[in-house]
């Protein structure tokens, strides 16, 4: 299965309600920035990374795919996923200038497209290729009801509606002010009752004293995890918080390498790991993190940079994954949307990684790749 062409693409897809905010970002669209890999078998694979849809930086990713990674891949056997992963990780054009960041996001798109091809060639959904179903159901938690930009009453109503719709987990954003966020958290807990898991996400905004002050107020609300309480790379800060609060600590959506995760595991700084195939160098890298997490008995809750199109396969196939994030912004762009029914993700059936865009999405959301 020889690679004959690699074509980058960019889609900008609107978020729910035209705008959302967390503690650090205001966004109107999700960027689906990726690569189509064609082969001499006639099969094409698709892979993508997730961005905040800034065309200028999205075009740096597509440029990196096309100018730096693609020349190393044309003519190669698409089935050699791990060998090609290492070839790109040692790309002479990139290793000196970009061991993380845009180069990694570009690598992610390619690695995922290769997994998609492998599934299509075998006529199997990715979860089957990864070793089969290790669980009957994958529990979903809803993040899309919990943005900081949602006013209090709407937040409470949205949380209650999500529970009525069958969700047994939700997540709300924090990181505005300790008092406001603690009040909103208590209101939501009140509205959803004691049986629904309720996580919070600070997106790296606060410092340790602020987090400790917040945690004291939040402990009464039975918080499932506190995600990115501190700056993403701060291992010792998270280790301290993990020791000083009763609320479990989660992070990983901003980590690029297995080495970064290894440090958090080794320092016992996190209770939950949240790797993302669109942030790390693809599924190949995330599988390694999931295996390590499993050895440390740390549960994995993959972050929704892919809006769970690929992670749903991982979640069905890897024993470390405990729960999966649900944000519905881009699902209808794909031939098999990642759907939640009665609070659980449907088991994908189509061959591949769930990354094939529909013609309609292509026509509607495509942006210039250069």
Residue of 128, 171, 173, 331 marked catalytic: 173
Alpha carbon of 272 to those of 41, 247, 261: distances in Å?
A: 41, 11, 11
The H or E element that residue 344 is part of is strand 344-345
When CB distances are held under 5 to 8 angstroms depending on the partner's kind, the choice from Mg ion, ligand 0YR, none that residue 128 binds is none
Q: Which stretch binds Mg ion (CB under 5 A): 28-36, 193-201, 210-218, 306-314?
A: 193-201
Q: Which is nearer to ligand 0YR, 160 or 301 (CB)?
A: 301
Residue of 69, 107, 238, 303 marked catalytic: 303
Sequence-distant (≥ 6) Cβ neighbours of residue 11 within 8 angstroms: 31, 32, 33, 330, 333, 357, 361, 362, 365, 366, 367
Q: Which is nearer to ligand 0YR, 27 or 35 (CB)?
A: 27
> Cβ 203 to Mg ion, closest distance in Å?
6
Q: What are the backbone angles phi and psi of residue 299, rounded to the nearest 5°?
A: -70, 150
Report d(CA 244, CA 218) in Å as an integer.
14
When CB distances are held under 5 to 8 angstroms depending on the partner's kind, the choice from ligand 0YR, Mg ion, none that residue 27 binds is ligand 0YR
Active site residue 173: yes
In the region spanning residues 214 to 253, those forming contacts with Mg ion, defined by CB under 5 A, are 227
Q: Which is nearer to Mg ion, 22 or 116 (CB)?
A: 22
Q: Which residue is nearest to Mg ion (CB)?
A: 201
**201, 234, 325, 336: residue in contact with Mg ion (rule CB under 5 A):** 201
When CB distances are held under 5 to 8 angstroms depending on the partner's kind, the choice from Mg ion, ligand 0YR, none that residue 38 binds is none
| 3-state DSSP helix/strand/coil % of the chain, to nearest 5 | 40, 20, 40
Q: Which residue is nearest to ligand 0YR (CB)?
A: 25
Binding site for ligand 0YR (CB under 6 A): 22, 25, 27, 143, 201, 203, 253, 303-304
Q: Which is nearer to ligand 0YR, 303 or 331 (CB)?
A: 303
Report d(CA 68, CA 320) in Å as an integer.
34
116, 126 in Cβ contact below 8 A?
yes
Burial of 232 (0-12, 13-18, 19+ CB in 10 A): middle
Active site residue 118: no
Report d(CA 24, CA 201) in Å as an integer.
11
> Cβ 15 to ligand 0YR, closest distance in Å?
8
Report d(CA 215, CA 123) in Å as an integer.
48
Q: Which is nearer to ligand 0YR, 121 or 286 (CB)?
A: 286
For binding to Mg ion (CB under 5 A), which residues are involved?
A: 201, 227
Q: What residues are labeled active site? A: 173, 303
């Amino acid at each position: 299965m020889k690679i004959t062409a690699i074509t980058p693409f960019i889609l900008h897809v609107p978020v729910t309600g035209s705008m959302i905010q967390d503690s650090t970002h205001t966004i109107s669209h999700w960027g689906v920035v990726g690569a189509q890999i064609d082969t001499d078998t006639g099969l094409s694979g698709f892979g993508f990374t997730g961005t905040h849809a800034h065309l200028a930086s999205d075009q740096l990713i597509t440029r990196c795919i096309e100018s730096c990674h693609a020349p190393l891949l044309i003519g190669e056997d698409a089935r050699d996923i791990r060998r090609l992963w290492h070839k790109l990780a040692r790309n002479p054009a990139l290793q000196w200038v970009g061991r993380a960041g845009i180069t990694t996001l570009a690598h992610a798109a390619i690695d995922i497209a290769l997994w998609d091809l492998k599934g299509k060639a075998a006529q199997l959904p990715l979860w089957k290729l990864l070793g089969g179903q290790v669980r009957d159901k994958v529990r979903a938690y809803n993040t899309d009801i919990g943005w900081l930009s949602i006013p209090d009453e709407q937040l409470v109503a949205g949380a209650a509606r999500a529970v009525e719709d069958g969700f047994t987990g939700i997540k709300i954003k924090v990181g505005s002010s300790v008092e406001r966020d603690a009040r909103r958290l208590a209101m939501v807990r009140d509205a959803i009752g004691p049986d629904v898991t309720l996580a919070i996400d600070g997106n790296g905004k606060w410092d340790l004293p602020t987090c400790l002050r917040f945690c004291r107020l939040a402990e009464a609300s039975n918080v499932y995890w506190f995600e990115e309480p501190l700056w993403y790379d701060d291992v010792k800060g998270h280790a301290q918080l993990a020791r000083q609060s009763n609320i479990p600590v989660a992070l990983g959506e901003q980590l690029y390498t297995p080495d970064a995760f290894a440090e958090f595991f080794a320092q016992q700084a996190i209770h939950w790991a949240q790797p993302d195939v669109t942030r790390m160098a693809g599924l190949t890298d995330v599988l390694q993190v999931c295996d390590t997490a499993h050895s440390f008995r740390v549960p994995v809750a993959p972050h929704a940079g892919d809006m769970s199109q690929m992670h749903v396969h991982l979640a069905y196939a890897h024993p470390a994954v405990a729960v999966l994030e649900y944000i519905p912004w881009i699902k209808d762009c794909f031939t098999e949307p990642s759907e939640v029914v009665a609070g659980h993700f449907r088991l994908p059936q189509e061959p591949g990684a769930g990354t094939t865009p529909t013609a309609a999405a292509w026509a509607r959301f495509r942006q210039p790749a250069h």
